[in-house]
Homo-oligomer: A and B are copies of this chain.
């Protein structure tokens, strides 16, 4: 083996080590009970909308992956295209300490996601659902059946492809 071969061998071992330990190093958030993987990198997604629910005192920031952002800007949201993923970041309300009339994000409650794949998730309206709780990012739900709960809540907006969010319209 020449030096290039030795280097390559060493790099291969290093690469294997990284691959084996990646789940523990890279966050390693467990998947949802229905198998949906935690969408690493969602914090870098762009914004689609926001909402403030006064029935449970929470502020929500709705983000989208690239496919969702493109669809939202093109108005192609009924149905949303396969591959679109919507993420909702939910925070408990708190008041701004220097501007009490402003409600701002307090405690982080959870991040929840809708993954569009009309065929794969035909049993829940074409969307796969997943949620991770709090700063611990604990997967929500005991078994895959949890998604029926999500689906039930989204059924009132079936006519809008089961999505509550209306993308913001900017100039």
Contacts and interface: CB of A to CB of B under 8 A. Distances in A.
A62 to B, nearest CB: 10
B171 A104 contact: no
A59 interface: yes
A94 to B, nearest CB: 10
B164 A96 contact: yes
A108 B157 contact: no
Interface in A16-41: none
A156 interface: yes
Contacts of A61: 47, 50, 61, 168
Which of A96, A101, A104, A108 is the most central at the interface, judged by chain B CB atoms within 10 Å of its CB?
A104
A98 interface: yes
- In the complex, the count of this chain's copies comes to 2
A169 interface: yes
Given A46-B46, A61-B61, A166-B104, A96 B171 contact: no
Contacts of A50: 50, 59, 61, 104-105
Nearest to A56: B101
A49 to B, nearest CB: 6
Contacts of A156: 98-99
B43 A44 contact: no
9 contacts: A43-B46, A49-B105, A50-B104, A53-B101, A53-B102, A53-B103, A55-B101, A55-B102, A61-B61
